[in-house]
Structure 1
Amino acid sequence: MKYFEDEIQNGNWDDVEKYLSGFTKVDDNRYSMKIFFEIRKQKYLEALDKHDRSKGVEILVKDLKVFASFNEELFKEITQLLTLENFRENEQLSKYGDTKSARAIMLVELKKLIEANPLFRDKLQFPNLKNSRLRTLINQSLNWQHQLCKNPRPNPDIKTLFVDHSCGQPNGARAPSPANNPLLGPLPKAGGFPPLGAHGPFQPIPGPVPTPLAGWMSNPPQVAHPSVSGSAIGLGGPSIAAALKHPRTPTMNPSLDFPTGDSDHMSKRARPMGINEEVSLPINVLPAPFQGHGSHTQAFSAPDDLPKTVARTLNQGSSPMSMDFHPIQQTLLLVGTNVGDIGLWEVGSRDKLVLKNFKVWDISACSMPMQAALVKDPCVSVNRVIWSPDGVAYSRHVVQIYSYHGGDDVRQHLEIDAHVGGVNDIAFSHPNKQLCVITCGDDKTIKVWDAATGARQHTFEGHDAPVYSVCPHYKENIQFIFSTALDGKIKAWLYDNMGSRVDYEAPGRWCTTMAYSADGTRLFSCGTSKDGESHIVEWNESEGAVKRTYIGFRKRSLGVVQFDTTKNRFLAAGDDFAIKYWDMDSTQLLMSVDADGGLPASPRIRFNKDGALLAVSSNENGIKILANSDGLRLLRTFENLSYDSASRTPEAPKPMINNAIPAAVPTSAGITERVASVGSVSGANGDARNITDVKPRIAEESNDKSKIWKLTELSESSQCRSLKLPENMRVTKISRLIYTNSGNALLALASNAIHLLWKWQRNEHNSSGKATASVSPQLWQPSSGILMTNDVADMNPEESVSCFALSKNDSYVMSASGGKISLFNMMTFKTMTTFMAPPPAATFLAFHPQDNNIIAIGMDDSTIQIYNVRVDEVKSKLKGHSKRITGLAFSHALNVLVSSGADSQICVWSSDGWEKQKAKYLQLPPGRTMAAQSDTRVQLHHDQIHFLVVHETQLAIYEASKLECVKQWFPAESSALISHAAFSCDSQLIYASI
């Protein structure tokens, strides 16, 4: 500690981190994370204090960026410090003193964190060494080396320690190195000490040459091979992807793991795994912003973030076996049951959109074993349902894949006779950017199929028992698949024909599923043994060893336990008639929720993508939807809509506005992050399929785009929650209004060119800190009292076109009110720059989604200018409209810019070279004529593939790449004009005013 303190006091930051890295990494636990954060934050502040902005930016990008994914708000605030002349202008840093005192204060905090960190236990005091301890170790090592000599001499001659000892042969020839002799098998170890240098010229007998993923080999075959020298292990060993490329030889003694001789970190000590005491240390250590000046740890306020409240109760009609939420439409739930039914629920409105019973689509195309199995026993259970598109794995031979087109429009896509026996799991992946479906089954194989054509691409054989689950993933551009079998074996496969890269055993040695955290950095498995013992563990990917074992299960589970992960922080499992939660960084049970009772012994569970909702199977064929505060707010949006579900039949179209979701919207990461859940392999309890299959929508209705939109009128104030926002500017008219991307503030541009900003605070009345009509926000201004006011030149701002746009991180607003375009800092309200004096005047603005320095500017002369703020230069001028630009929207998924103009034309431009790809004029309803000037607005759908077009005569949904209209709606009254419309935040609804 003394050396560590001295280096900090001297400001030797590189040496500080290098020394600290010998004991821990940034992502080992939250104690370590905060230690690194405090050090890097201090280095950053010192650079700003010296007015060395370039150094500050370098530290921000290289050192502090890693924390942005854990606390984005904090990272934004730190970034804002670059814009201040003196960072002490920030209220939280107003008491920051000089460098010396700041380092001293930080040291006090670091000492507390280090003492509390389990990884530093027994490492803070230098151990007491007996005299001549080093000599003893050397002698033991030499004795061990001498026992390996093929012709040991009675009195060996030791001349140097720089190479391993070896006695020469009687005739003077040097004995061959055991490491290079492929015929020698493993020798009994003499003592417990490995060689001092694992890659010296005289190596001990190595273990077998490992296949890639060698760190995962628990029982390597006992056949000797020539030694293979892998790359240096470095800190914590290679990742799985590195192990696939560079296998390393395991040490002879499996209880010891010494670094190799060419390691840069020879003194690194092994980290303890699964320390139970970690949870009892009373400290919240996600990076806090500044010493003693408030906290930004709200993203880690554990139990409040978890779904605990029963918000919906649904009845499926048969017992749910597998469930999966849509990756984009957060309230759309897919369910598979024990009698082969699949159901599709809109949990917000409690509507069952689809119910399909199991039937083989083409029995003649099925194999004879499958036909015989169905004749013998027609009862079939769904083992797995999953989106992307929605695939269904049945317990007999077959996989059925549907394409989903919104609402209740589910269409047959592919039926694959995949395995002999049951299909136990399915997953989707994107090897080589091609959507594939992966299946596994009772025939002990894993198969990879083209999701578009159904062509089989790979068959992986090597398991000795039925394969229970699959978990595809990719790391460092290497795609691989984990598979687990009913004998507890776990194997890993690349998309080739080279066989399994891994062979080891999972805890429980029976039904095991694997899943990564949402960010793909942490690997977990959940398994139940034949005796009912359940295990959830976190794996050390670089070692193939269990890193942490979570405790809190019933001693004898009464079924196979399912689990899921959420928010890169929490684990959940259905056990002992309840849902149990764990913090990923603690082995202790965090909490248990019984969901008001009525749960089976081992309920099926599934989080939605944001973790705000949790679907849980319940007794009597039920499903309970648990929600946290964000989930409850999401579901309340449906309570204000007047659905008439009682009058619906299964054949009727359902109220879905955005039913243009293509089948392959979700990415492989969006699917594989939740691939852990698998239903029971068997368990059909009779054929209860007494509900008729959903009939396809008739062609005439599909073609009539106006009939499949459900209209709900909100004409009374009681149908909405309203709140008058406080303001003291005497504003007569608001020209533009927008929520911030973080959802905790509202920005307005008034007709007098002044901006107003309202912020919602996090408090006991508003635990989320998000915008709500239940709590009044504060009209926010910086302490300087300045206002964000646009340049108006000689124009009357009341008559000019106002426009503004927010940067993706809410740090900047770009705005114009007929004069120059202004760029404001949202934290300080300072004007960063002004540019582009009229004419022409700006009429619409949009930030590039990948680069805040690139701005698309629509002008009143019908052009679109692509402007780079950093170099103050127009990079491109786009011409294609004939009247002023009224709408702009970027799609980062398609790399296009969509524009609309007062000429009622829509254009699609490539954002790579800024060429026009397609253009189309709006189709007017019969009997309507085009106005001389008519604004057309565009807004991207949540999927980044479709967009909403708002015109006074219509609302329409277009597919961006083809510029095809897929939905269209006209007001019923020919005289009614639409004044404005917008998607809801999840793009499931459209709100319009007439």
Structure 2
Amino acid sequence: MASLEKDLMFLILQFLGEKKHTETVHRLESESGCYFNMRYFEELATQGKWDEMEKYLSGFTKIEDNLESTQIFFQIRKHKYLEALDKRDHAKALDILRKDLKVFELDLFKEMSLLLTMDDFRANPILSTYGDTTSARGHLFRELEKLIEANPLLRDKLQFPVLAASRLRTLIDQSLNWQHHLCKNPMPNPDIATLFVDHTCDQPIAEQASSPAITHFMGGVPNITGFPPMSPHVVPGSANAGITTADQATSLAARKKNGVLTLADGKSRTSNVSSEGPTPWKVTEITEPSQCYSLRLPDNVTDTKVSRLIYTNSGSGVLALASNAEHKLWKWQKSDDNLTGKATANAHPVLRKPKSGITMINETSDKNPEEAIPCLALSKKDAFVVSASGGKISVFNMTTFKTEKTYMPPPPAATFLALLPSDSNIVGVGFEDSSIQIYNLKTSEVIHILKGHGNRITGLAFSLALGILVSSSADSQVCIWSIAGWEKRNSMYMDTPRGRSRPAVSDVRVQFNQNQNHLLVVNEEQIAIYDAQKLDWLNTWFPRKATGRRITSGTYSADSQSIFVSFEDGTVSVLAALNLRLRCRINPTAYMPLNPSFVRVLVIAAHPSESDQFAVGLSNGHVYVVEPSESEGTWGTSPPGST
């Protein structure tokens, strides 16, 4: 495939992905053979969709292409066979043996045949470690991943190029602007009816020095500052002829100058009002309870602050870790008021308390628990939570609340936890001594120790699609580590906006967006977006210095189209993720009407599937779930260039 043709294929894949045509995306990946989606392949393995795995794989390689390809197909078919045996479906196992495994070497076929005669194939020494279905599928994928990365036909197709959002739409906008620029009789408000033929303006208008450009056709055009002419010339009467953006006058596009972050016009400022043509766009202000739905989760204890807060992955619960090391779990049930059983501000959840009376409480150190740095991570299927509050790391069963295991007594104390998405037995543990350990919870073994930070670890985030772990530390350093060999790939320090000083110590958090091509980095001073692979700076947002407000937490919404930012005073700002423009500001009086001035918002969490819902944890122990009212529909309108 030619280089430009391949680029076009990636642009189409990005466009289809942004439009949520998931099945089409994966079919095109396979049919074009340009990008092997490891994350999708893992999903198929986890779900046991063996035929779909082979069909997807066949777009890139055939069973006889090389040794690695043969091994990949064999491992998939072998596991399909073993699962049939484990379910005691001998008829299906025999069918798999005859149709799928007979093509391999005779010795392998004979070994597989012998397993049919055993009551339990685990009696075979080679298969004695075969666990349950879930763990076996996880182990299979790790083996397949190694073979794929070693396969010369696949290893160069594992990285999706880093593209600006909606790149194909941007190129179309640029083309239309240029076509309109070449019109003999340009109309001020051209009507674009189709992309099937070149644009022309049919009706003449009065002569003018320059024609207005078409802006934001089919959505916003991020960071377009000009389109190069086909040959050197100057259009009279316009210093910005060609492509323009509607908000050049108040652009927040930033530049780097002498290592310092500045705005496009060199002035350090933010803008709450942008413009698109003659119509001004304004930030939506939510100040009244009637403008949103909010629900305080039931709990009688209000003497400890909420230190950490997350939704369950199913979206039906909220889990909080308090400063006294105790966990609280709220669960929603299906009802007439809540048909989905998902978390909502319109139905009351139940504070889970097992009949045994057991509570999930972390072990603490000799220090004051209030001074400890709490951390927690939830397994993919919400089966268990890994947590620490300055003492040992504990693993709790989310159904019975029993403590399954404890690990790693301090010092050093754990300060951040992140589970490997493909295997919840593997956890990344950040420590107060700046080290990171990759640890196997099942075998209680340290897989690797990562060293490269100069201060305590404040954030960890895995990306299977990119094959990396990103870490952050209290001195604003961000590092990238390869999951394959755990070597350090890259590192940088967060830029400091001009006129501001970098905090000596700050809780820097990192999070990948849904497509895993952008990295959100948050500290008390700013929200920043970086390229997820190269750590190239893309954009920054920070509150006006005059407000004196400090950011306490920030997170992507479920669809990664918005970023929720919480402040100490209880204000929540909703930013458009594409350009970090402020969409909506939610005043604390709207969702916690009683004495909001006496409490602080410490943490914010986004619902995993409801894009406009979030929860906040307060300094008085309260937790609120907040979502827009039916009349509002969503949190404000999209600013220019944010779609």
| Structure 2 length-normalised TM | 0.50
Which of 911, 914, 930 lines up with 2:483 in the alignment? 911
| Corresponding residue for residue 559 of structure 2 | 986
State the AA in 1 paired with 2:560. Answer: S
Contact 2:252 2:264 in 1 (8 A): no
- Quote the residue 1:961 is aligned against: 533
Match of 1:800 among 358, 372, 375: 372
Q: Is the 8 A contact 1:895 1:911 kept in 2?
A: yes
Query: Are residues 787 and 655 of structure 1, via their aligned partners in 2, closer, same or farther at CA, if it must alter by over 3 Å?
Result: farther
Match of 1:896 in 2: 468
In 2, Cα distance between the equivalents of 1:808 and 1:820?
A: 22
Please tell me whether the aligned partners of residues 169 and 218 of structure 2 are also in contact (alpha carbons under 8 angstroms): no
Quick one: which of 392, 405, 408 aligns to 2:221?
408
What is the CA–CA distance in structure 1 between the aligned matches of 2:302 and 2:193, rounded to whole Å? 66
Distance 1:765 1:333 in 2: 42
Q: CA deviation at 1:355?
A: 11
Q: 1:359 aligns with which of 179, 182, 203?
A: 179
Matched, 1:651 2:246: yes
Q: 1:411 to 1:732 in 2, by over 3 A?
A: closer
Contact 2:270–2:543, Cα closer than 8 Å, also in 1: no
Change (3 A) 1:923 1:356: same
Matched, 1:865 2:460: no
| Shift in CA distance, 701/849, structure 1 to aligned 2, threshold 3 Å | farther
| 1:835 paired to 2:371 | no
Q: Is the 8 A contact 2:526 2:541 kept in 1?
A: yes
Kindly indicate whether the alpha-carbon contact (under 8 Å) linking 1:890 and 1:896 is maintained by their aligned counterparts in 2: yes
Number of the residue aligned with 1:741? 313
Letter paired with 1:755: H
Q: CA deviation at 1:702?
A: 11
1:871-896 deviations in Å (ceiling 9; x for gaps): 21222222222211111111222111
Q: Give the alignment of 1:317-332 within 5 angstroms.
A: none
In the TM superposition, residue 700 of structure 1 has moved relative to its aligned partner by 3.8
What is the CA deviation profile of residues 420-463 of structure 1, one whole-angstrom value per residue up to 9, with x for unaligned ones? xxxxxxxxxxxxxxxxxxxxxxxxxxxxxxxxxxxxxxxxxxxx
Q: Provide the aligned length of Structure 1 versus Structure 2.
A: 379
Q: Distance in 1 between matches of 2:489 and 2:526?
A: 24
Query: After superposition, what is the alpha-carbon deviation per residue over 1:457-505, rounded to whole angstroms, capped at 9, x for unaligned?
Result: xxxxxxxxxxxxxxxxxxxxxxxxxxxxxxxxxxxxxxxxxxxxxxxxx
Corresponding residue SS for 2:429: strand
Q: 5 Å matches for 1:303-452? A: 356=176, 359=179, 382=194, 394=196, 407-409=220-222
Provide closer, same or farther for how the CA distance between residues 820 and 948 of structure 1 changes in structure 2, counting only shifts above 3 A.
same
For residues 817-856 of structure 1, what are the structure 2 equivalents within 5 Å? Answer: 817-856=389-428
For 2:172 and 2:224, the matched residues in 1 are separated by: 13
Which one of 454, 457, 461 corresponds to residue 885 of structure 1?
457
Structure 2 spans left out of the alignment, 5+ residues = 1-85, 97-119, 122-126, 140-162, 184-190, 200-214, 228-243, 255-262, 275-282, 568-643
Specify whether residues 968 and 406 from structure 1 end up closer, same or farther in structure 2 by C-alpha distance, changes over 3 A only: farther
**Equivalent residues of 1:407, 1:655 under 8 A apart:** no
CA distance in 1: counterparts of 2:421 and 2:94, whole angstroms: 39
Q: 1:14 to 1:361 in 2, by over 3 A?
A: farther
- Distance of 2:298 and 2:311 partners within structure 1: 16
> Structure 1 residue 410: deviation in Å?
8.1
Q: Give, in angstroms, the shift of residue 988 of structure 1.
A: 1.5
Q: How much has 1:928 moved relative to structure 2?
A: 2.4
- Larger % of helix: which? 2
Q: Secondary structure at the match of 1:721?
A: strand
Distance of 1:841 and 1:405 partners within structure 2:
51
Secondary structure (helix, strand or coil) at the match of 2:179 reads coil
Are the equivalent residues in 1 in contact too, given 2:138–2:422 (CA < 8 A)?
Answer: no
Name the CA shift for 1:709/1:844 in 2 (closer, same or farther; >3 Å).
farther
Residues 1:780 and 1:914: Cα distance change in structure 2 (over 3 Å): same
1:886 and 1:59 map into 2 onto residues whose CA distance is 34
Deviation by residue 1:128-157 (Cα, 9 ceiling, x = unmatched) = xxxxxxxxxxxxxxxxxxxxxxxxxxxxxx
2:481 is paired with a residue whose SS is: strand
Amino acid aligned to 2:373: V
Give the superposition deviation at 1:705.
9.4
Q: Residue by residue, what CA displacement relative to the aligned partner does 1:810-837 show, whole Å, maximum 9, x if unpaired?
A: 2221100110001122222222211000
Query: Percent identity, aligned pairs only?
Result: 46
Distance 1:762 1:887 in 2: 35
CA distance in 2, matches of 1:885, 1:827: 30
- Bigger-Rg structure (1/2): 1
Q: Which amino acid aligns with 2:179?
A: K
Q: Deviation per CA, 1:233-261, whole angstroms, max 9, x where unpaired?
A: xxxxxxxxxxxxxxxxxxxxxxxxxxxxx
Letter in 2 for 1:872: S
Aligned with 2:521 (options 949, 953, 958): 949
Change (3 A) 1:848 1:362: farther
For 1:404 and 1:961, locate their aligned partners in 2 and report how far apart those are by CA, in whole Å.
Answer: 30
Amino acid in the other structure paired with 2:460: L
Q: Deviations over 1:317-350 (max 9, x none)?
A: xxxxxxxxxx999xx99999xxxx989xxxxxxx
Q: CA 1:19/1:709 → structure 2, altered by over 3 Å: closer, same or farther?
A: farther
Deviation at 1:966, TM superposition (A): 0.6
- 1:781 maps onto 2:601 in alignment: no
**Whole-Å separation in 1 of the counterparts to 2:402 and 2:558:** 29
Gap regions ≥5 residues in structure 1:
1-10, 22-45, 48-52, 66-326, 344-353, 364-378, 383-391, 415-648, 660-698
Deviation sequence 1:566-588 (CA, Å, 0-9, x none): xxxxxxxxxxxxxxxxxxxxxxx
Deviation of 1:775 (Å): 0.8
State how far apart, in whole Å, the 1-side matches of 2:516 and 2:247 are: 29
Distance, in Å, in 1 between the alignment partners of 2:314 and 2:251 is: 26
Q: Give the alignment's TM-score, normalised by structure 1.
A: 0.33
Alpha-carbon distance between aligned partners in 2 of 1:406 and 1:762, rounded to the nearest angstrom? 38
Q: Is the 8 A contact 1:979 1:993 kept in 2?
A: yes
Alignment partners' CA distance in 1, 2:219 and 2:399 = 41
RMSD: 4.9
Q: Helix, strand or coil: the match of 2:89?
A: helix
Q: Superposed, which structure 2 residues align to 1:456-495 within 5 Å? A: none
Measured in 1, the distance between the counterparts of 2:220 and 2:550 equals: 27
> CA contact under 8 A between 2:179 and 2:198: conserved in structure 1?
no
Change (3 A) 1:903 1:763: same
Q: Cα 1:342–1:957, aligned 2, differ >3 Å: closer, same or farther?
A: closer
